[in-house]
């Protein structure tokens, strides 16, 4: 088999077999597949698409192009993924809340993309917090603290890392097949038993319409299930920021206020509970999503989630007293200005994408 055979099949919309996907993914990871061939592959899929078996084959192949984590924990290994939004710091609440409910959460997260914020960028606003850890250290962190929010190592889905860069420079990013394989190859390489997906829709999301969001959500769920991971998805509104703040340190501050109960963002809390409820039901730790959401509520209300978050921060190099003194530990902007409305009235709408780009231009991007 060589690249030309695979490219011809995808070019002619004749599908992608598991053997072809495995060969191409290994070639992407090893360098045997050239940049020109990778670009042609991405564009052919962008134009012709893949059927469901081809999408599963590509996802599995990219997952298996590197290390796939194995776990031996006394509870289910679960995670969550969001397609990206503004003011969305759910991961900071959800990972420790799931851990407090009996899950083990190796949350491999990403950086900001375009106008959307990245979980790793937010956490690095915490002084000393390390997002780059080895696989061995990740195992220890998850075993000891039940959750760890870190970045993907170079050994996780290397085929995706190569193809993602190619897609970015060949105008082939906007493909549901390639988006699905990219997201899931990294998540499934974490060795998950269950995954909950937060697919955003609206002005601050990559999927602007409900039809687009539904198509992506269905593709993600079907492909993950086809690859052997119990998965569900919620489609959630991103026509305005989820939080009252936007920017890395500010979003951590708001998440901590909600975690500790000092100033609760109800929308952030409610979405955390909804996603967590789905995850607990999938993992067999709740009778259904409603029961699971109540368990997440309890983990947040009792402070158990905040305690676990503090343990994770300390284990990853952050301040030992972060939960108790987070307002003092987070950096503040050197210049703050109040902007007053020109007149009285109500906010009728927010262009979340424009607001996100303003944050990026102010230095709040990845």
* List 79, 160, 177, 198, catalytic entry: 79
Is 81 among the catalytic positions? yes
* List 55, 81, 115, 146, catalytic entry: 81
- What confidence score (pLDDT) does residue 322 get? 97
Is 139 among the catalytic positions? no
For residue 232, the 8-state DSSP code is: E
How many whole angstroms from its chain centre is CA 81? Answer: 4
* List 80, 115, 295, 329, catalytic entry: 80
* List 153, 172, 182, 203, catalytic entry: 182
Tell me which H or E stretch contains 151.
Answer: strand 147-151
* List 46, 60, 146, 186, catalytic entry: 186
List of the chain residues with pLDDT < 70: 114, 365-366
Is 119 among the catalytic positions? yes
Tell me which H or E stretch contains 222.
Answer: helix 210-226
- What confidence score (pLDDT) does residue 365 get? 62
* List 119, 145, 153, 223, catalytic entry: 119
**What is the domain class of 3-64 according to CATH?**
mainly alpha
* List 167, 200, 295, 329, catalytic entry: 167
Query: How many other CB atoms are found less than 10 A from the CB of residue 73?
Result: 15
Provide the token pair at 210: 């409900």
- What confidence score (pLDDT) does residue 328 get? 95
* List 59, 82, 91, 172, catalytic entry: 82
Is 80 among the catalytic positions? yes
Is 186 among the catalytic positions? yes
Contacts for 150 with CB less than 8 Å, ≥ 6 apart? 106, 107, 108, 109, 120, 130, 131, 132, 133, 138, 141, 316
- Delimit the domains of the chain by residue range: 3-64, 78-316
Is 182 among the catalytic positions? yes
- What confidence score (pLDDT) does residue 49 get? 94
Is 200 among the catalytic positions? no
Pick the CATH number of 78-316 from 3.65.10.10, 3.40.1030.10, 3.30.230.10, 3.80.10.10: 3.40.1030.10
d(CA 314, CA 128): 9
pTM more than 0.95: no
């Amino acid at each position: 088999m060589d690249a030309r055979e695979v490219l011809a099949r995808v070019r002619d919309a004749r599908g992608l077999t598991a053997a072809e996907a495995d060969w191409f993914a290994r070639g992407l990871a090893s360098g045997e597949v050239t940049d020109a061939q990778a670009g042609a592959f991405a564009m052919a899929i962008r134009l012709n698409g893949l059927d469901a078996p081809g999408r599963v084959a590509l996802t599995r192949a990219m997952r298996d192009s590197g290390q796939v984590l194995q776990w031996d924990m006394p509870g289910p290994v679960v995670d969550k993924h969001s397609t990206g939004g503004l003011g969305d710091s759910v991961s900071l609440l959800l990972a420790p809340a799931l851990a407090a409910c009996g899950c083990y959460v190796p949350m491999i997260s990403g950086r900001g993309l375009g106008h959307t914020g990245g979980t790793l960028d937010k956490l690095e606003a915490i002084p000393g917090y390390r997002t780059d850890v080895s696989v061995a250290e990740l195992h220890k962190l998850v075993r000891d603290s039940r959750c760890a929010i870190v970045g993907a190592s170079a050994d996780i889905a290397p085929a995706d890392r190569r193809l993602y860069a190619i897609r970015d420079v060949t105008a082939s990013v906007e493909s549901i097949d390639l988006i699905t394989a990219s997201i899931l190859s990294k998540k499934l390489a974490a060795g998950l038993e269950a995954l909950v997906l937060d697919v955003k829709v609206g002005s601050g999301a990559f999927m602007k319409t409900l039809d687009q969001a539904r198509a992506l959500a269905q593709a993600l769920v079907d492909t993950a299930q086809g690859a052997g991971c119990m998965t569900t998805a919620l489609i959630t509104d991103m026509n305005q920021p989820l939080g009252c703040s936007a920017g890395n340190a500010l979003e951590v501050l708001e998440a901590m206020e909600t975690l500790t109960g000092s100033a609760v963002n109800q929308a952030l809390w409610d979405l955390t509970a909804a996603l967590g409820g789905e995850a607990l039901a999938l993992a067999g730790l709740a009778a259904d999503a409603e029961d699971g959401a109540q368990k997440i509520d309890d983990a947040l209300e009792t402070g158990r989630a905040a305690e676990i978050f503090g343990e994770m921060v300390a284990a990853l190099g952050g301040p030992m007293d972060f939960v108790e003194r987070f307002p003092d530990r987070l950096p503040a902007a050197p210049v703050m200005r109040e902007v007053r409305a020109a007149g009285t009235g109500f906010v009728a709408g927010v262009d979340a994408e424009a607001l996100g780009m303003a944050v990026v231009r102010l230095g709040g991007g990845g």
